[in-house]
Structure 1
Amino acid sequence: MGQHPFSFSQFVLKVHSRCDLACDHCYVYEHADSSWRGLPRAAGAEVLAATADRIGDHARAHSLPAVHVVLHGGEPLLAGPALLRRAAEELHRALPEGCALDLRIHTNAVLLSTTFLDLFAEYGIKVGVSLDGDLAANDRHRRFADGRSSHAKVLKALGLLRRPEYRHLYAGLLCTIDVENDPIAVYEALLAEAPPRIDFLLPHATWDTPPPRPERLGATPYADWLLAIHERWDADGRPVPVRIFDSIHRTLRGRSSLTESLGLDPADLVVVETDGSFEQADSLKTAYDGAPATGFTVFEHTLDQVADHPGMRERQSGLAGLAEQCRGCPVVRSCGGGLYAHRWRTGGSGFVNPSVFCGDLMRLITTVRDRIGPATTVPAQAVPPEADLTDEQFDQLASGYGDRATVTALAAAQLGITRRMVAALADGRPDAWQLLTELDGRAPHALDAVLAHPYARAWAARCLRGERGADLGGLAELAAAAALRARVEVDLPVPVRGGAVHLPTLGRLLVGGGGEARLTATAEGFAVRGVTVGWDTPDGAAWQPVRRVALPGWTVALEDTDPQRDSHQWPVAERLSDDELLGWTGGLREAWELIGRDLPGYAPGLAAGLGTVTPLRPGPDGGDVSAAARQAFGAVGIARPTTAPILALLLVHEFQHVKLGAVLDRHELFDPEDVRLYHAPWRPDPRPLEGLLQGTYAHLAVTEFWGTRVRTYDGLAGAAADRARLQFALWRSHTATAVETLAASGSLTKLGERLADGMRRAVAPWLEVAVGSSAEAAARAEAVAALTAWEARAAAPERA
């Protein structure tokens, strides 16, 4: 497949270019770059609107499930509440439906007030605060221009953030390391502010302007400073997530980093300055004057054009882009060469050097590695690495199918998306996030089993979108479920919803009441509010486990406990009775046998990717009801039909939507600027291009289902045979017509055209199957009538 520009998911929006402090270690005002002098003080309304439009267009073009935006400066609070409100409104306006917004602000907090915090609460804006430690440590660098201390004002602001009505906005503390400060005193001062997270940052430096290294502190003072805190933090039971330590723990186990300064993950961040110019990461300001510049602006260029900038592309090259010395280093996959800006050396080598902190990073990573013991690796067959589909795999999917390896690759990519979405919510429940981080090292299989649950991502998407009723208690539910799966002892407050504690993938425990309750787990089981569940406790009045149907080659959960399962467009069924469960079990067994016999091309992928069926309530007219949700990969919702063949049809039909949604999360198949509405032969209403694409792809399976039924009835008469022939004639005609409509749209990308070609080849053999003149005539008549009705409906607004 052809190469497409990578997508950005993190955006730094500069809303004000000046600052009310005069920190002497600031990379914006005190280092090599001086571009700030020519920038407008505040971003104008036209910059905010254009930036939001560019981000929205980019999210739409790349089908991004979420974007992360940080309002920054200078000092962003200098922009004032009205401008910050305008920025939030524009971003919410521009993002497409289904794309969640994680909006944050990073501030020195000296101006923070309840006026700002009420605004942030209204728009769900998380607040990160810079604080370098206690009074002595903080005021070593972070003072007003006249020398006054900023410390008391910051502590007052943090007191506001800790209030119950604002606590959910508190994102954490950022501390720039100065090795002259006492590390334990700094750690204790930061911990006293009860932050959800702490970030320790190495001071920005390059080989041209190296960091201070007092001789008395040895060869690796920055590593030693951090290791002193790591030892204390570990002894304290890791009371708060520390991003640099958590990133080292993760990368040592082959996981992604949580910071751009470690690991080999490609950079996906872009900066917008107050004049609307696009820039690379701010840290590059420490390299040389003009280093972050791209020459692009929000008014004239798209984010795909920015992504194609040589500097941006260079930061996507991973291991191959590092210096030779780095590529052969034993800790390179954890270090990642260090922060890109810290590699700069004037002369021919540019950024192709080890980090100026190379020795510190080596000592820090190897010491942490030795302290935490041997890494637990995840077998490749259990959780494959995220990777683009191969040409062969894409062509399999284009034909409507997709074998086990292909769908497993889709599932691995979806798990990666869920992990990133959940990580964006980490600040909301630091206790739960800390447990999740520990489980990622101790029991990654258990954690992945919970995060791969379809409704884990559905919950995260709701929180990131700021939907009414969505809350961060879901982090505790995920952490508790993963700990229980790993048989890890735990003591964690969990939410009680509707009188029950919900444990994703496991079930629910009826405890009564609401609010929060402590869940405690031991080697024997777990308990909440005096209700105890052993590992072998059967389904009962209080404990309602998720029931699973084990079939040859496929095990599927009947999910009737998770409150997030209402992600489909139809109402969900309540807890299945024993008789209803028996009916579902028998229906699934017969449907699976039928799929294996009559639709063998769909069976391997379905077994690999469809792990959850959510029972729905019957339709209002008693008709068949089914649905798939874009934010719930691996699940379909179905109201159990009366016959097993129809259940088989609904399973393969809805799983087509699941597969294509996963492809669209990673690959651009059509031009998102095409806002025309198209004729879908199976619907009376005009459809957008993505809706037509989804329907066409799903109906490949419908066509094959009815085609195999026709072959079953070959030479036979009767109502059932006649119905099968008519349905087959209709659906093959509908699908073939829709493929040609897609191909003629002019809006498919090269990859989209390849998908259309694959669908055309898949449906072509079915067009040659004889069904008799009666069925053909009836199908043609229905198609003509549907097209005529659609044309009349489409023309109605023009006549009006």
Structure 2
Amino acid sequence: MTTRIPLPFSQFVVKVHSRCDLACDHCYVYEHADTSWRTRPKVIGDEVLAKAAERIGAHAATHRLPAVRVVLHGGEPLLAGPDRLRLVAEALRAALPPGCALDLRIHTNGVLLGRAFCELFAELDIKVGISLDGDKAANDRHRRFADGRSSHPQVLRAVALLREPAYRRLFAGLLCTIDVENDPVAVYRALAELQPPAVDFLLPHATWDDPPKRPSGAGASPYADWLLTVHDLWEADGRPFAARTFESVHRTRRGFTSLTESLGLEPSDLVVLETDGTFEQVDSLKTAFDGAPATGFDVFAHSLDDVARHPGIAARQSGLAGLSATCRSCPVVRTCGGGLYAHRYRGDDGGGGFDNPSVYCGDLMTLINGIAARSGPVAVPAQAAAPVVPAALTPAQVDELARGYGSADTVAALTRSQLALTRAMLAAAWDASGQGRAEAWSVLSALDGAAPAAVDAVLAHPYARAWAARCLAGDLGTGLGPLAALAAAAAVRAGRGDAVAVPVRGGWLHLPTLGRIAVPDGEAVVTGAADGFTVRASDGTVHTALDEPLRRIRLAGGWTVALEDLDPLRDSHDHAVSDRLSDTELLDWAGALREAWELLGRDLPRYAEGIRAGLATVTPLRPGPAGRDVSSAARQAFGAVGIARPATAPTLALLLTHEFQHVKLGAVLDLMDLYDRNDDTLYFAPWRPDPRPLEGLLQGTYAHLAVTEYWGTRTLAYDGLPGEAADRARREFALWRRYTAEAIERLAESGSLTGTGVRFADGMRATVAPWLAVPLPAAAEQAAARARQERAMV
């Protein structure tokens, strides 16, 4: 039993050819400790390929993966030939379940890359990464043919092809292995001149048994010095390409995830398939000892879930708990992450295997501190150390969300990504607790394999992630009791007889997604059974029923929403939460929700579809001051909104739509950066008197797209009709369409939007444009102008 929920694989390296046409003397496949390549077939066979595609497809379906990344590798994968590569791509794509996207890539030395291959890759949508160590002198130091000839001219021709307009979208970037004897300035300039979209600067593989070269007179940390020189040039040039090493240091210092396995504490979700059908751990382990990456598993006899439970895989997924004592006490551990797993190996007597700091420990410390000194202090957000899952959206879905909408399929993709993030955050919170192995975690881990639907149902509860976020931010006031409660709720749902001890405080045992039971403080043991459950309280009494179940309201069309008035962690919103609703209050809520849902389905169908797919929980809030509606979306509680029940059902419909916009955009921001997070400028939103950070302006603008459409739809419904309700709709519509349009332009002019952020601004502009063209009476425009002036004077 591992101490974490097994993490499904979402990245696969598939070896399509096991030999190479170059003889690079720093190659870990052929020149380091592992010799397994000698006995493997040169090309992946039809049976291996078919079974591998089947395994990957089944794994994606079992774990409901929104996307998988497959890298075609070798040896040199182009040696497999175009027909074999086509077969591989088509087999993989055909095996994936509906809704699971394939991100297919190939890593090549570029020697054989010609126009025919590029045409094939354009047809099959295969991105291409090329190994290039810099200028000719740098590249020729290691990357030569067996007869000593330079490979540099051929690689430059390959890069030139990928830079052509027809193939530019295929160019994934360059991989540069560092040699400290190469001039870092010359290397950087040579690579930057090629205008790659990204460059990965890779430390040469080494271990404590076979350490990296350190030329005399080069100083104590030559690799850090080399990288810092390149970093400074990269910064001075305005970061002309993505550089995962540097960006990962910047991101992890701000509490976000690393972009590379060689830094940070994120668990690895990658596995390698060799040409003979055997599964291996990461390729870099070939540098440790002969057979180091082996798992003993193959595609014919083992599923990918079997591979995920391999001890070596688990060791690379154990975060802080899997590091040496030296690393755990290091001040930069959350950025360094102990370095690449293979680089920790020491095999001599008492060497500890992988239980060591990286052989590059000093260099990593110097690099991280050097970048920190250049960047200055940073604020760590509440989601610090919370791993972010890979992008889960298709381009069409991104465009749909950019317009402010979100179909059921699109919001379901966001929901899946959020569930994966919750799992990763719970694992990180567990690691950070330092409390080792425990019954609750073991039960949750076992149930994740035996009854995954039960675990998913509990982990999808919005306040499970909210608790993990608090822990990762350093708030351990609740201890690990909420984790035990999650495990107990999963055990009850699974009904297999699993037992979990749960701490009880305040006289209530709360089971997330189920309800609560009145028991004395202390420790209660919850046991799931096929026909229910039992709870043995600290005073010896046994309970077999919930005293206060979580209540759900079924709405038209089969949508069911929970009214969460029990969970002690529901106070994640900016407003006070309501106590347990009385029966009368429950009936009032049910009636208001049914009316609001009917209105949404009729008047705002493009928003309603996503709300139905993603909004599972409404948390009642206490009423605000008289005449003020109160609502909230908690950034770390996907799937929930907090609302104080308003006076009318139409207002409830508006609040639901408004807050779910925040929920959607929060999930998008977990997947992709829409703006430069280093921008600390404060921006004025037209509807607020106080300046806001850029994310606040973005969130408000996105929410007010829905507000604009709400009032616009009501205005059209009142077309030509008199009355106060009609006049109010016109005034509000005039006000909010102008506010929203101005805010979109303010975002666009900030200069801090990423490419995807610009895409969102363009999408929002396209959505609001038709509403700006709707004619309104002069009285409505004048009333809106007065309201704007009054608000500006507040």
- Whichever residue aligns with residue 470 of structure 1, its letter is T
Q: Report the Cα distance in structure 1 between the residues aligned to 2:209 and 2:390, rounded to whole angstroms.
A: 40
1:654 is the counterpart of 2:659: yes
Answering whether residue 321 of structure 2 is matched by residue 251 of structure 1, we say no
TM-score, scaled relative to structure 1: 0.57
Residue 59 of structure 1: CA displacement? 4.6
User: Cα offset for 1:298?
Assistant: 3.3
Q: Deviations over 1:542-595 (max 9, x none)?
A: x11110111123110001111110000101001111001101111110000000
Corresponding position: 1:518 with 2:522: no
Give the drift of 1:460: 0.9
Superposed, 1:279-290 pairs within 5 Å as 281=340, 283-284=342-343
Partner of 2:367: 297
For the pair 1:424 / 2:483, whether they are aligned, the reply is no
Partner amino acid, structure 2, of 1:653: H
Within the candidate set 446, 453, 462, 1:445 is matched to 453
Would you say the 8 A contact 1:402–1:605 is kept in 2? Answer: yes
- Deviation (angstroms), 1:782: 2.8
Change (3 A) 1:211 1:587: closer
1:33 deviates by: 3.4
Question: 1:261 offset after TM fit, Å?
Answer: 8.1
- Following superposition, the deviation at residue 734 of structure 1 comes to 0.4
2:553 to 549, 552, 557: 549
CA deviations on 1:719-758 (whole Å, 9 max, x unpaired) are 1111111111111010001001111111111100000000
How far apart, in 2, do the equivalents of 1:695 and 1:4 lie?
A: 36
What residue number does 1:119 align with?
none
Q: Structure 2 CA distance, aligned partners of 1:554 and 1:655?
A: 15
- Distance change >3 Å, CA 582–CA 3, structure 1 → 2: farther
After superposition, the Cα gap between the structure-2 partners of 1:665 and 1:60, relative to the gap in structure 1 and judged at 3 Å, is farther
Residue of structure 2 in register with 1:33 after alignment: 212
3-state SS in 1 of match to 2:565: coil
Residue identity in the other structure for 1:283? A
Q: CA-to-partner distance for each residue in 1:198-252, whole Å, 9 max, x for gaps? A: xxx99x974795379xxxxxxx9x979xxxxxxxxxxxxxxxxxxxx99965737
Number of aligned pairs?
Answer: 515
Match of 2:192 in 1: none
Contact preservation (8 Å) 1:446, 1:485: yes
Find the aligned partners of 1:694 and 1:724 in 2 and give their Cα distance.
23
TM-score in terms of structure 2 length? 0.57
Tell me, yes or no, if the aligned pair for 1:403 and 1:605 is still in contact at 8 Å: yes
Aligned partners of 2:515 and 2:550 also within 8 Å: yes
Within 5 A, what are the aligned runs for 1:41-190? 57-59=250-252
- SS of residue in 2 equivalent to 1:560: coil
Preserved contact between residue 676 and residue 752 of structure 2 (Cα < 8 Å): yes
Q: Which residue of 2 aligns with 1:737?
A: 742
SS at match of 2:447: helix
Select 2:316's aligned residue among 249, 254, 260. Answer: 260
Secondary structure at the counterpart of residue 753 of structure 2: coil
Given that 2:249 and 2:371 are in contact with CA atoms closer than 8 Å, whether structure 1 keeps it comes out as no
Matches within 5 A, 1:592-631: 592-621=597-626, 623-631=628-636
- The correspondence for 1:642, drawn from 647, 652, 659, is 647
CA–CA distance in 2 between the matches of 1:510 and 1:630?
A: 31
Question: C-alpha separation between the residues in 2 aligned to 1:676 and 1:446?
Answer: 44
Q: Secondary structure at the match of 1:563?
A: coil
Counterpart-to-counterpart distance in 1, 2:500 and 2:370: 51
How far has the Cα of 1:517 moved from its partner?
1.9
Give the structure 2 partner of residue 111 of structure 1: none
Partner of residue 84, structure 1: none
CA shift in 2, pair 1:520/1:421, >3 Å: same
- In 1: Cα distance, 2:261 partner to 2:447 partner: 25
For 1:280 and 1:69, locate their aligned partners in 2 and report how far apart those are by CA, in whole Å: 5
Q: In structure 1, what residue type is equivalent to 2:458?
A: V
* Change in 2 beyond 3 A, CA 1:280/1:423: closer
Contact 2:462 2:639 in 1 (8 A): yes
8 Å contact kept, 1:547–1:559: yes
Give deviations 1:68-121, integer Å, cap 9, x for gaps.
9999xxxxxxxxxxxxxxxxxxxxxxxxxxxxx999xxxxxxxxxxxxxxxxxx
Alignment of 1:563-578 (within 5 A): 563-578=568-583
Deviations 1:299-321 (A, max 9, x none): 66599x9xxxxxxxxxxxxxxxx
* Structure 2 SS opposite 1:297: helix
Q: Which residue of 2 aligns with 1:317?
A: none
1:500: how far off?
A: 0.7
Picking from 472, 481, 489, the partner of 2:489 is 481
Amino acid corresponding to residue 308 of structure 2 in structure 1: T
Which residue does the alignment assign to 2:782?
777
- How has the CA–CA distance of structure 1 residues 717 and 453 changed in structure 2, closer, same or farther, with 3 Å as cutoff? same
Q: Percent identity?
A: 50
Match status 1:700 vs 2:702: no
Matching residue's letter, 1:780 = A
Higher mean Cα deviation, 427-436 or 596-605? 427-436
Conserved 8 A contact 1:613-1:637: yes
- Partner SS for 1:669: coil
Q: CA–CA distance in 2 between the matches of 1:261 and 1:719? A: 61
The answer to whether the 8 A contact 1:546-1:558 is kept is yes
Task: Specify the alignment match of 2:717 in structure 1.
Answer: 712
CA distance change for structure 1 residues 285 and 503 in 2, over 3 Å: closer, same or farther? closer
**Does the 8 Å contact 1:494/1:517 carry over to 2?**
yes
Instruction: Map residues 370-409 of structure 1 onto 2, 5 A cutoff.
Output: 387-409=391-413
Amino acid at match of 2:737: R
> Is 1:456 matched up with 2:464?
yes
The separation in 1 between residues aligned to 2:312 and 2:515, in whole angstroms, is 29
Contact map agreement 1:65 1:665 (CA 8 A) in 2: no
List runs of 5+ in structure 2 lacking aligned partners: 1-102, 104-168, 174-205, 233-244, 268-280, 319-326, 348-357, 376-388
Match of 2:606, SS state, is coil
1:66–1:102 contact (8 Å) kept in structure 2: no
The yes-or-no answer on 1:561 pairing with 2:569 is no
Kept in 2: contact 1:63–1:666 (CA 8 A): no
- Give the C-alpha shift of residue 516 in structure 1: 1.8
1:484 shift after superposition:
0.5
The verdict on how the C-alpha distance between 1:5 and 1:589 changes in structure 2, with shifts beyond 3 A counting, is farther
Distance in structure 2 (CA, Å) of the matches to 1:704 and 1:285: 56
Label 1:5 to 1:484 Cα distance change in 2 as closer, same or farther (>3 A): farther
For 1:610 and 1:694, locate their aligned partners in 2 and report how far apart those are by CA, in whole Å: 18
The alpha carbon displacement at 1:260 in A equals: 2.8
* Structure 2: distance between partners of 1:431 and 1:68: 30
Partners in 2 of 1:769 and 1:35 — Cα distance? 70
- Secondary structure (helix, strand or coil) at the match of 2:788 reads helix
Question: Take 1:504 and 1:779, find their aligned partners in 2: how far apart are those partners?
Answer: 45
2-side partners of 1:60 and 1:759: how far apart? 32
Q: Is the 8 A contact 2:443 2:500 kept in 1?
A: no
- Asked if 2 retains the 8 angstrom alpha-carbon contact of 1:54 and 1:302, the reply is no
Matched, 1:210 2:290: yes
Partner of 1:265: none
Tell me if the contact between 2:493 and 2:528 (Cα under 8 Å) persists in the aligned partners. no
Query: 2:170, 2:561 → 1: CA distance?
Result: 36
Structure 1 residues 296 and 643: CA distance shift in structure 2, 3 A: same
Confirm or deny: 8 A CA contact 2:571 2:577 kept in the other structure. yes
Shift of residue 66 of structure 1?
A: 13
